[in-house]
Chain A
Amino acid sequence: MSSAAAKAAPAPSPPKEWTLEPETEYRFELDPGTSLAIKLVRGHAEVFGAELAEGKTYLFAHECKAAVFTYQGCTIEMSCIPSTEYVSDETPMYPYANVHIALEKMRLLARDAHHGSPPSGTEADSEPPRVLVIGPENAGKTTVCKTLANYAVRAGQDWAPVYINVDPGEGGWTVPGSISATSISAPLTTASPAHPLGNAATSAPTTLTSNALLPIVYWYGHSETKRNPLLLDRQIRNLGENVNERHEVDAEGRAAGLIVDTPSSFAASSSSSGADHRLMLIRACVDAFRINVILVVGHEKLNVEMQRTYGNRINVVKIPKSGGVVDLDPPYRHRIHNYQLHAYFYGHPINPPPGLPTSANATAGGESAMETNLSPSSSVISFDDLTIYRIGEKSMAPSSALPIGATRSVSEMQPVKVDPASPGSGVLNAMLALLAPPNPDDNERYDEEVLDLQVAGFLAVTSIDVPRRRMTVLSPGPGSFAGRTAIMGSFEWTES
């Protein structure tokens, strides 16, 4: 399958060509600090459902692990040889395509119903697809979601499905620790795990709509769902309310449906300690987003479990997992978190691999690399300007681990005010979620309102001056933080 010429020439940067047979994919994994340029020489190819334009050079970096798939066969040219690369002819793309077509049928029926066409079936038949994707760790859940979203926007029907990420361990278009939703109207490209699902909007002009997403964001603050499942449950339901409200406003756009990407802990085997909360969180998602399709990625037992619980009212479908998924170890996930945090403030510039001619006009997923440099602003603020809360105790054992009869002094959902001056406050280097302003109407205010406010942006505390009661915060852009509220989580900012 590979061209023999490449192996014969170990020169510094031999442009290497792969010719892919139809229905195969080229998979690669990058080492830290390396980047790769891929050009589609001829044929058609896509990366996780986003089509590559012929003749354009695409850059990949930050330990990106991705695959170039082709239905019709193609030739691609590589700038260098990644640490791991191979071609596979076993892909689950046809099952995924079938799922896409099934979802398209639902969308078309839903649109017909909206336009007042005679209903062709029962009431349930005209509901747009609202898909929950669950599966164990390293099953390729996000890849499935991304591919399905990309196929939907490529249909040329002006679909703009709402993509919901409830996996706090995955930043998506924001930072890890948050859960968020955004409407997708253009294919989500792949360039770097720092932005696996496109990019939240910046002030820079972007070529791709998927790099100017307008998400709504809630801050859970931890990467593990078991850390505070009650909080996550509440935020999932908040997010669901927003999404439903939006779909009521936009009845036409509602037909495109929604896709929910979930954390792997939703599928953890029942023997593990997280079992008690995961069913609760799945229930929260099903209720909040009015799920009518559950896709279980490569997990027999989970499929059976879901069939039993929801099979009578929700279409539960098991889909195969890709053989190309990579087992991600905790250090890798930690590095990805740092990439994502860093990319939030500074963008994600990708240095082209050495030897790539500048005339190649390389782009990061179709975005010119130049535009991805961001300048955050750093400002010194008084301790009194910003009110910082932590939700629940700093380190909290699960309720089940408490002695029988014991109750917490601080409940899981109680906002605890953090004094940056107190030793061990943990504010230094903490990531803070700056909350949106609370309801201006005092009558509408309530004690736990901070739990339900969405995020306006993220801050990082880079230094603290206790004697003068001042701290330096890094913010995405200039702004005043006086009188604002921020929530602390367990994520720390390290300047790299």
Chain B
Amino acid sequence: MSMYSQVPAYQQTSYPVHGYPPQAPSYAYPSTSAIYPVDPSTFRRDYSARLAELTENSRPVIQGLSLYAQDYSRWADVAVSCIESHIRRVPPWMKLPAFYLIDAISKNVYEPFGPIFGSRVSPLFLESYDQVDPSTRTKMEEMLLTWRNGGPNGRQLFGAGVQSALERQLWGSGATPETSRRDFIAKAQVLGELNTTLNQTQQKLQINPYDTEARNTLAILQQLRSVVEDGVSQQHLVEIRSELHSLARPPPLLSAAPVAPALYPSAATYPPPVSYSHDRGTPMPPVPHSGTSYPPAPKPVVPSSEPSSSYTGLLSAPAPSGPVAVPSNISSLLDTLAKAGWGSSGGTPVGAGTTAPVSQAEAEADPSREAAREYREAIFSENIKFTSTDITKTKPNIVHILYDRLPVQCKQCGIRFPDTTQGKKTMESHLDVHFRQNRRAHQNLGRGHSRSWFVGVEDWVHDVSASSKGKESADPSRPLNVKVVAAAEAAKRGAELRAQSVVVPPGDEAKHIACPICKETLKSEFNEDDEEWVWRNAVKAEDGRIFHATCHADALSSLSTSTALVARLRQGLADGSRSGTPDDPSSRVVKSKSPSPASNLGKRKIDTDFTAVKVEDGTPPSKKLMLSATA
């Protein structure tokens, strides 16, 4: 799953159509029921504390916070002020997730949050907009566009006044369609909307590369963009924009129809937002508080079936006939746009959706080989002899080889990828690397860095990880350094251990239990598959005590007998009894079986975590080994 913000875990546009089932059984939060806030101040404290967890764009966290706010909608103003002060307080890179929370609450619950946010959101939005980086700005702009018709009955989510004020601030004097259709429209605004639509179409293509409609639309939109970039008259801008708006308008038939439960996505296979982009105007009546209308944790469906259906009936309204003065290229572009991609109405949307993946599988039997063949052709079609005279005379189609062939570009570092399923995948993992590095950079703020020592000959000769471009799933046939393999295995073992869990006994959810070895609290979390609360990275010893799985494994694997350990374990025993775990004589079994040097205790758990992170980040293990060898 990509965690990078370009494929955000949470997408504001997708919420309305699903109508997140409040209090659906699978998402009940036992912890909130355990600690029941009885007065606004308790609620404020709890809510602020949970807001602090919202450090990245995590769908579960946003959902949790949204549901929590809904449960206590009688104290909506408290929740709103908590979120507001949270946004003001946190560093810029943490602001966007909080806005997604506002977006989620307002669109899903609306009453009473929408109006309350409406009175406060404007300055908050603009303040944050000024502080964040360009890519986040784009995200905020996209979100703002969805607010245009994110409210009930396709109205502005926070009211026409707020919406137009925000848009005016962001894009200059461009006004909302309602107030002044013929007014001056900023080119930037149209371009922004164009880009949003483009992205959505691209994502749609990504789900279903054989969607020729979307492909046509994409081509037309790209042409439109270049036309707009070159500069067009006001009239054309107005026209293009109204066309874009009509694309975004919700189809009337879908506005009332409930979404089939089967389409309800599970957290793991959340389809990209574009699938639902045209439903963003769907009115969002508060879903009745009946946990029965949606089956819990339904199976994910083929994501591509939804986009086709949601495009049904779109743009049945013809494109507005432009003024006579419109140059033919623009009007024809708009015409094709209306006809080709967006105007078509699929007869049986579900059927259309299900056939697509089949043909896709047939056609893309071996996409990587196909891509390699195309590249060969491109290279070998350049008929250049490698001589001094020939290379100065001919003019190769280098632009195709370096640029056009690879239309997908990383906005961070400019690296390009082919526009294929494989290429998108590579791009995604590339973005993941960026994301992890950025996160590490944030975590490392203020910590000193230093130049690494150079690698030794052995490591350098065997270091082929650099040639795999940070891909962890390197070709197994490739010879790897033994050390690298060992490190990878250790990481895998660590991951397996961390995946172990122990079900929390009913009624113990609120209890804090510490690992007897490292003294750190075991983290509890909700396992959505089993619908149970569990302690992660935990293992239950024979005596019933709960250990960190990693700590326990370390202790078991170590063979040296150290009296320090016995002392330490005894102490842990005492701790255990303090925390209510019965001090059972059988625990001695564990003790005698798990002699470990004192160094294994203490912070070992953190050490293993660190190793895993390093490997995951693509840091060649050889470097680390070399480092420790030199130190």
B466 touches A209 (CB 8 A): yes
Residues of A within 8 A of B485 (CB): none
Do B451 and A454 have beta carbons less than 8 Å apart?
no
Residues of A within 8 Å of B450, CB to CB, are: 202-203, 374-377, 476-478
A71 and B415 CA atoms in complex are apart in Å by: 16
**B388/A183 in contact, CB under 8 A:** no
Interface mask (B205-245 → A, CB under 8 Å = 1, otherwise 0):
00000000000000000000000010000000000000000
In chain A, positions 92-106 with a C-beta closer than 8 Å to chain B are 94-95, 97-102, 104-105
- Interface pair B460/A359, CB less than 8 Å apart: no
Find A98's partner among B391, B411, B452, B459 (CB 8 Å cutoff).
Answer: B391
**Chain A CB within 8 A of B181 CB:** no
User: What 0/1 readout, one digit per residue, does chain A (100-144) give for beta carbons within 8 Å of chain B?
Assistant: 111011001000000000000000000000000000000000000
CB distance from B468 to the nearest CB of A (A): 7
Complex contacts, A160 vs chain B, CB 8 Å: 466-467, 469
Taken together as a complex, chains A and B put the C-alpha atoms of A205 and B433 apart, in Å, by 11
B71 interface contact, C-beta 8 A? no
B468: chain A residues at CB < 8 Å are 158, 185
Distance in Å: Cβ of B439 to nearest Cβ of chain A = 9
Given that A183-B466, A202-B451, A209-B469 are known contacts, is A155 also in contact with B401, CB under 8 Å in the complex? yes
For the complex, is B606 an interface residue (Cβ under 8 Å from A)?
no
| B568 at the binding interface (Cβ < 8 Å) | no
> Quick one: given A216-B457, A375-B449, A476-B451, are A156 and B416 in contact (CB under 8 Å)?
yes
CB contacts (< 8 Å) of B133 on chain A: these are 359, 361
Within 8 A of A (CB), among B588-631: 617, 619-620, 622-623, 629-631
Residues 179-197 of chain A, each 1 if its beta carbon lies under 8 Å from chain B, else 0: 0000101110000000000
- In the complex, which residues 364-382 of chain A have their Cβ closer than 8 Å to any Cβ of chain B? 366, 368, 370-371, 373-377
Q: A53-B412, A216-B460 are in contact. Are A370 and B395 (CB under 8 A)?
A: no
Query: Closest CB-CB distance, B484 to chain A, in whole Å?
Result: 12
Contact residues of A between 40 and 64, Cβ < 8 Å to B: 42, 44, 50-56
Judge whether A216 and B455 touch: CB under 8 Å: yes
Residues of B within 8 A of A366 (CB): 412-414
Evaluate whether A101 and B384 lie within 8 angstroms (CB atoms) in the complex, with A95-B391, A205-B440 already known: yes
Is the C-beta of B398 less than 8 angstroms from some C-beta in chain A? yes
Q: Which of B33-79 contact A (CB under 8 A)?
A: none
Known: A317-B391, A318-B388. A345 touches B451 (CB 8 A): yes
Decide yes or no whether B453 CB sits under 8 A from chain A: yes
Binds A, one of B308-316, B355-363, B373-381, B506-514: B373-381
| List of A residues within 8 angstroms of B399 by Cβ | 71-72
A11 at the interface (CB under 8 A from B): no
Q: State in angstroms the CA–CA spacing of A201 and B463 once bound together.
A: 14
**A253: B residues at CB distance < 8 A:** 464, 467
Cα of A97 to Cα of B395 in the assembled complex, Å: 8
- Are A205 and B441 neighbours in the complex by a CB distance under 8 Å? yes
**Which residues in A have their C-beta under 8 angstroms from that of B388?**
303, 317-319
Interface size on B, residues (CB 8 A): 77
A-B contact count (CB 8 A): 246
Q: Would B478 and A344 count as touching, CB distance under 8 A?
A: no
Q: CB-CB contacts of A232-267 with B at 8 A, as 1s and 0s?
A: 000000000010011001101100100000000000
CB–CB A100/B398 < 8 A: yes
State how many angstroms separate the Cβ of A191 from the closest Cβ of chain B: 13
Q: How far is the CB of A446 from chain B (nearest CB, A)?
A: 16
Q: Contacts A207-B437, A454-B457; is A44 near B467 (CB within 8 Å)?
A: no
Chain A residues with CB under 8 Å of B451's CB are 200-203, 344-345, 347, 374, 376, 457, 476-477
Asked if B365 is at the interface (CB within 8 A of a chain A CB), the reply is no
Q: How far is the CA of A206 from the CA of B617 in the complex (A)?
A: 11
A214 to B452, CA, bound (A): 9
CB distance from A350 to the nearest CB of B (A): 16
Whether B396 pairs with A200 at a CB distance below 8 angstroms is no
> Are B418 and A156 in touch, CB under 8 angstroms?
yes
User: Quick check: is A320 within 8 A (CB to CB) of the other chain?
Assistant: yes
B434 interface residue, CB < 8 Å from A? yes
**Contact for A154 among B392, B402, B462, CB less than 8 A:** B402
Complex contacts, A51 vs chain B, CB 8 Å: 402, 409, 414-416
**How far, in angstroms, from A477 to B624 measured CA to CA in the complex?**
13
User: Which chain A residues lie closer than 8 Å to B434 at the CB level?
Assistant: 207
With the chains together, A393 CA to B308 CA distance in Å?
79
Band of interface residues on A: 35 or more
Say whether A157 contacts B630, CB under 8 Å. no
Residues in A with CB closer than 8 Å to B184 are: none
In the complex, which residues of chain B have a beta carbon less than 8 angstroms from the beta carbon of A105? Answer: 379-380
Cα–Cα, bound, A252→B415 (Å): 22
Q: From A182, which residue of chain B is reached at the shortest CB distance?
A: B466
B454, A200: Cβ atoms under 8 Å? Answer: yes
Counting CB contacts under 8 A, is B390 at the interface? yes
Q: Mark A65-97, 1 if CB is under 8 A from B, else 0.
A: 000000110000000000000000000001101
Report whether A186 and B379 are in contact in the complex, using a CB–CB cutoff of 8 Å.
Answer: no
**What A residues does B131 contact at CB under 8 A?**
359
Query: B130 to A457, Cβ gap below 8 A?
Result: no
Candidates A250, A319, A359, A454; contact of B130 at CB < 8 Å:
A359
Question: Interface digits, B387-409 against A, CB 8 Å rule (1 contact, 0 not)?
Answer: 11011101110110111011001
A479 touches which of B379, B401, B402, B630 (Cβ 8 Å): B630
| B178 close to A (CB within 8 Å) | no
A420 within 8 Å of B by Cβ?
Answer: no
Query: Complex Cα distance A32/B15, Å?
Result: 54
Q: Does B265 contact A (CB under 8 A)?
A: no
Residues of A within 8 A of B406 (CB): 154, 156
Q: Is B444 interfacial (CB-CB < 8 Å)?
A: yes
CB A458 to nearest CB in B, in angstroms, measures 9
Q: Does A217 contact B (CB under 8 A)?
A: yes
A456 interfacial contact with B, CB 8 Å? yes
Question: Known interface pairs A94-B396, A183-B467. Does A214 touch B623 (Cβ–Cβ under 8 Å)?
Answer: yes
In the complex, how many angstroms separate the beta carbon of B369 from the nearest chain A beta carbon?
Answer: 11
Q: What residues of chain A lie closer than 8 Å to B580, measured between beta carbons?
A: none
A279 at the interface (CB under 8 A from B): no
Check if A315 is an interface residue, CB within 8 A of chain B.
yes
What is the CA–CA distance of A208 and B50 in the complex, to the nearest angstrom? 34
Please indicate the chain B residues that have their CB under 8 angstroms from the CB of A151 in the complex: 402
Closest residue on chain B to residue A375 by CB atoms:
B448
A320: chain B residues at CB < 8 Å are 392
Closest CB-CB distance, B196 to chain A, in whole Å?
A: 16
Contacts of B130 in A (CB 8 A): 359
Nearest CB on B from A387, distance (A): 16
Known: A183-B466, A185-B469, A317-B388. A373 touches B449 (CB 8 A): yes
Given the contacts A94-B398, A154-B415, A53 and B455 also touching, CB distance less than 8 Å: no
Contact B379 A104 (CB under 8 A): yes
Distance of A206 Cα from B382 Cα, bound (Å)? 37
Q: Give the residue among B386, B387, B410 with the most A Cβ atoms within 10 A.
A: B386
CA gap between A95 and B467 in the complex, in Å:
27
Q: List 29 A-B contacts (CB under 8 A).
A: A50-B414, A51-B409, A51-B415, A53-B409, A71-B398, A71-B399, A98-B382, A98-B391, A101-B398, A101-B401, A158-B468, A187-B414, A201-B452, A201-B623, A205-B441, A209-B466, A214-B620, A216-B454, A245-B461, A317-B391, A359-B131, A359-B133, A370-B441, A371-B449, A456-B456, A457-B451, A476-B450, A478-B450, A478-B631
Given A214-B455, A366-B412, A456-B453, 16 new contacts (CB under 8 A)? A71-B398, A98-B384, A101-B401, A102-B384, A108-B379, A156-B423, A203-B451, A205-B441, A212-B619, A214-B460, A215-B460, A249-B461, A250-B467, A436-B457, A454-B456, A477-B451
* Closest CB pairs A-B (n = 8): A160-B467, A476-B451, A204-B449, A375-B448, A53-B414, A97-B398, A98-B391, A477-B450
B: residues with CB less than 8 A from A are 130-131, 133-134, 229, 372, 375-376, 379-380, 382, 384, 386-388, 390-392, 394-396, 398-399, 401-403, 405-406, 409-418, 423, 434, 437-438, 440-441, 444, 448-457, 459-464, 466-470, 475, 478-479, 617, 619-620, 622-623, 629-631
